[in-house]
Amino acid sequence: MNTNEFFMKKAIACSCDNIKNDGGPFGAVIVKDGVIIAEGSNRVTANNDPTAHAEVVAIRNAAKYLNNFNLSGCEIYTSCEPCPMCLSAIYWARIDKIYYANTKIDAKNIGFDDSFIYDEIALPIPERKIPIIQMMRNEAIQAFNLWEDKADKTEY
């Protein structure tokens, strides 16, 4: 078994073990320099947290472990193709590479269908199902101006 297969087997084991612990069938591990530094399993229903997807949980654990929000130099192995939220989190975390096992079609076939989110993102804002209303930009822009002028900010 090669290294990639070893790490994917760990992610898959997280997904299987999680089902026995009242979680969803998703697992992920984050690897840096050939070592697993974090694991995550889907805890959405167990924790009543819609953001507690395996990849997001693993990212949170990795960031805590490294004491850094920037996970450059890391790779993620996930038991399923990341949903739009997880994919965004992976990009924001600056993870170098994604390995996945099951596809989003496999997930859809067992009731985890994210296609409506992909469809919604592609629509112009006025055509989306959830109303999105911009307001108070003139007041809110003050925070952006303060950020722009801040000399000692941490860029990300």
> Is residue 93 within a helix (H) or strand (E), and if so which, with residue range?
helix 84-93
CA dihedral 105, 110, 116, 122 (to 10 degrees): -20
Distance CA 30, CA 39 (A): 6
**How many whole angstroms from its chain centre is CA 149?**
31
Q: Are 32 and 67 a contacting pair, CB within 8 Å?
A: no
User: Which one is catalytic: 5, 39, 55, 155?
Assistant: 55
- 5 catalytic? Reply is no
Kindly list the strands in the beta sheet with 97-102, ordered across the sheet, starting from the edge strand earlier in the chain: 35-41, 27-32, 74-80, 97-102
Active-site residues, by number, are 55
